[in-house]
A = this chain, B = another copy of it.
Amino acid sequence: MLEPLESLSMTDRVENILREYFEQNAFKPGDSLPNEMEMAKKLNVSRNVVREALSRLRMLGMIETRPRKGMIMSQPDLLTGMEKVLNPFILGTENLKNIFELRLILEMGIAEFLFARKTEKDIEELEAIVSLQSNDFEATKEEEIAFHGKLYEMTGNDTFKRFQILLMPVFNHVFTDYYKEKVHVEISKPVTHRDLLEVMRNGTSFEFREAMFKHLEPYYATSLKKR
């Protein structure tokens, strides 16, 4: 098999060189960077090429630039790069399936943090959310988002929370697709939001994990049957 030889453009190469440069020299947020012309001279490329590379890094939030002042390192956000790409039309089916599963994995993994960080106020808020549901056995999409969203919040992990919220549209997209295919899918949930809340009040993280699994079981069935 012939290797897909990589013919990187100058811009690609400069982008890589800059990222390496920042890493090697342990650049930290706030550190100021050399100006564009200097970079172009040093690298022996045009300012255009340097600017295209910098533009990429700027998009990712790695650098910031106050016009006519200079460029400084900045704190990138882990997820912006991902966010921009989350478009169900261009993401492949394989990717979509993977994301669907990824979300199930995440939901199952948070029990410990929930129990370690839950407060009385959190429980009360959950109670309010659950009380608003008209039907215990079938939550609307909004109610699902409210309940599970609150759980993400309770983990106290902002990255996780944003991550989950980003994934949600994709999750719904995939699930709706599956749902359409089948004539009749069994979405009866043996464990309801109220049940989960009850376990959170009086149970253990162990019990909560099992309850959450039962709550998500229809989705798991959907996903695991698919391969």
Bound-state Cα–Cα, A210 to B15, Å: 44
A156 neighbours in B (Cβ, 8 Å): 227
Bound-state Cα–Cα, A227 to B27, Å: 27
**B117 x A109 contact (CB < 8 A):** no
Q: How many copies does the complex hold?
A: 2
A157 neighbours in B (Cβ, 8 Å): 98, 101-102
Cβ of A138 to closest chain B Cβ, rounded Å: 23
A36-44, A71-79, A190-198: which lies at the B interface? A71-79
Cβ of A82 to closest chain B Cβ, rounded Å: 5
A94 neighbours in B (Cβ, 8 Å): 158
Q: Which of B53, B62, B159 contacts A99 (CB 8 A)?
A: B159
Please name the residue on chain B nearest to A75 by beta carbon.
B92
Interface centre among A75, A112, A156 (most CB of B within 10 A): A112
Please name the residue on chain B nearest to A11 by beta carbon.
B55
Question: Which 3 A-B pairs give the minimum distances between C-beta atoms?
Answer: A81-B81, A109-B109, A105-B109
13 contacts between A and B (CB under 8 A): A19-B84, A23-B89, A52-B55, A55-B55, A60-B84, A62-B84, A75-B90, A76-B90, A76-B91, A80-B81, A108-B109, A112-B213, A112-B220
